[in-house]
Amino acid sequence: MVSDFDFLSPLVLALTTLSNSQLDGPWWSLRADNPMYREARLAAIADARRRADDYAAAFGTTVAGLVEVSDLNTGFNGVAEMRAFSMAKGADDTPFEFEPATQTVSGQVTVRFSLKTVSL
């Protein structure tokens, strides 16, 4: 186990010189319980509500109530790993940066509302 990241880059470089070996990674991803997923999901739901209000207004109605909401599994349950970098066999002696890559979090939901006619 490597606990001092100062030694990680030289270790990785040394491993690339081993014959019949290949080194891939590292990969970085946010944990499934990261608060950013909740923020993205809530933003997607708020956007869906604004859009529903726009559609209702276009038809001369109003949003009456929520019928259904569902996640489209776009990263809320097990984000696909994102590569911070990849390393080819026989890499040069350039040190590696072991900082996590910037993560993009998005949310996509299906939301259905019922509409009611506006009484005059």
Cβ–Cβ under 8 Å, residues 63 and 53: yes
Average pLDDT of 46-52?
95
pTM for this one?
A: 0.60
β-bridge mates for residue 83, sequence order: 27
Tokens of 11: 């270790």
- Residue among 42, 37, 28 at smallest CA distance from 77: 37
Question: Which one, of 95, 101, 99, lies nearest residue 9 by Cα?
Answer: 95
**pLDDT at 42 > cutoff 60:** yes
Total Cβ atoms within 10 A of residue 34: 14
For residue 2, what pLDDT is reported? Answer: 63
Mean pLDDT along residues 8-29: 76
- What is residue 59's predicted lDDT score, i.e. its pLDDT? 93
